[in-house]
Amino acid sequence: MPLLSHVSSKPEERSRAKLRNHRSLPPLVPYTILLQEDIPPVEALGGCGLLIASGEADMVMRGDQGGSVRIPASWCGLFELKPTFGLVPYTGIAPLEPTIDHTGPMTRSCLDNAISLNSIAGRDNLDDRCAGAPLPSELPDYLRTLFAMKDADMPLKGFKIGMVKEGFEICKNGPLNDLRVGVKVQEAAEKWRELGAVVEDVSIPMHDLGATLWVCISRMGSLPVLWGEMGGRSGYQMTELTKKMYNIRTEEGCDNTPWSPKNMILNGTYLWDKHVRPSQLSLLIRENSTERLSTIRRLRATYNEVLSRYNVLVMPTIRYLPTTHAPPEASVLAESWADLQHISLQRYRASFIVDDKNFRFPVGLQITGRHMDEMSIYKAAFAWVDWKEL
């Protein structure tokens, strides 16, 4: 859910560069266009985020495994839902790692998002990720429920919201993150209190393990998919896509592959070679995969326990504001370093943030709900206000 912060860039810092994986002119965050600044909406769906924010499209959807949709949605001031795993069929979308493949709608408003979800959600009997998901005819009417609470004086009376301490603490640690992001999200919680909700701080210590677990899953788990070895799935298989991905093994195919997938292939290959030698396969199963999967289950169980006491959990979507593009003449290494800035491994925040009260930049608020309870997420988001009217 979008909120506000103030940010701009110094004129001398203006630059253009290639967006990750693409050689054409990069998309920019729409709220920086008036400043003629080259601040990218980042990640794989940056261009689509710009299309939605500028009104050129009403809804987009694609895979979101680690932030490809949520990050540009946050920086473009949009509503994006990463639904319960399997609620929206992944059929026809290029996979990355089957256990973390999600897809959902990105829109300009909460109501548009609810309409979109009712249109795309529900088991399709093709995607095996959807086992246990309701059929389209069994879905709740998200839009009707939101309209029913529209005129209520206290639409969130009795609604319990947990503010995840660890999600805010990371905004305070070190110079790489932006303290204002956490402050803005905390300010938003006061609005929920005015609407009748109970808002409390909650601690989930295992939350900090999420990023490490994601690296293990995404890098090692995606390697067979990126190599075109997409077996072991009972869902619809796109044979033409498999052929194209298998072509990565050839010299020509590798040359034509964007460097981000190449990076994942190198990471995954290193991890498998480093930790999974043939003579140690049983060791992997016992100490690596089993421990990793067990830790994931414990993390999920921890969240479920907290969510049994709260309707939703809240934290910032991303803990920093976007950086500028690298120069167009930048080397691959320099481009990579610019990309590292986006994940806060190194970010020279003071070099481009100035005190410009005339320009408002969106900050993302992330709402997490129970499995198959997208309605509670929509209620919390819809009860708030349209940030562009502030």
Q: Which DSSP string corresponds to 3-19?
A: EEEE----GGG----PP
| Structural domain total, the chain | 2
Write down which residue in 289, 310, 331 finishes a domain.
310
Evaluate whether 296 touches 324 at the Cβ level (below 8 Å).
no
350/290 same-domain check: no
Write down which residue in 255, 282, 310 finishes a domain.
310
Coarse DSSP helix, strand, coil percentages of the chain, rounded to the nearest 5 percent = 45, 10, 45
**pLDDT exceeds cutoff 50 at 347:** no
173/112 same-domain check: yes
CATH number at residue 131: 3.90.1300.10
347/230 same-domain check: no
Query: Distance between CA 265 and CA 220 in Å, rounded?
Result: 9
238/343 same-domain check: no
Write down which residue in 310, 339, 364 finishes a domain.
310
What does the pLDDT read at residue 9?
A: 33
**Out of 180-189, 250-259, 307-316, which region has the weakest mean confidence (pLDDT)?**
250-259
86/20 same-domain check: yes
Give the residue with greater pLDDT, 123 vs 41.
123
Query: Distance between CA 383 and CA 231 in Å, rounded?
Result: 44
Evaluate whether 314 touches 189 at the Cβ level (below 8 Å).
yes
Evaluate whether 189 touches 201 at the Cβ level (below 8 Å).
no
SS3 317: coil
155/217 same-domain check: no
**Strand 79-80 versus strand 102-107 pairing type:** antiparallel
126/185 same-domain check: yes
- pTM comes to 0.80
299/364 same-domain check: no
173/140 same-domain check: yes
64 DSSP 8-state letter: E
217/145 same-domain check: no
Q: In terms of Cα–Cα distance, which of 184, 189, 210, 211 is closest to 201?
A: 189
Alpha carbon 367 to its chain centroid, in Å, reads 12
134/144 same-domain check: yes
What does the pLDDT read at residue 200?
A: 97
149/228 same-domain check: no
Most confidently modeled of 3-7, 77-81, 149-153? Answer: 77-81
What does the pLDDT read at residue 4?
A: 34
CB atoms within 10 A of CB 241: 15
SS3 130: helix
Query: Could you give the dihedral angle defined by the CA atoms of residues 225, 227, 229 and 232, in that order, rounded to the nearest 10 degrees?
Result: -30
Transcribe 154-212 into DSSP letters.
STTTT-EEEEEHHHHHTTTSSTTS-HHHHHHHHHHHHHHHHTT-EEEEE--GGGGGHHH
pLDDT in tens, 219-247: 888 888 888 776 667 777 778 877 777 78
SS3 110: helix
Range of the domain at 287: 205-310
**Out of 14-23, 52-61, 342-351, which region has the weakest mean confidence (pLDDT)?**
342-351
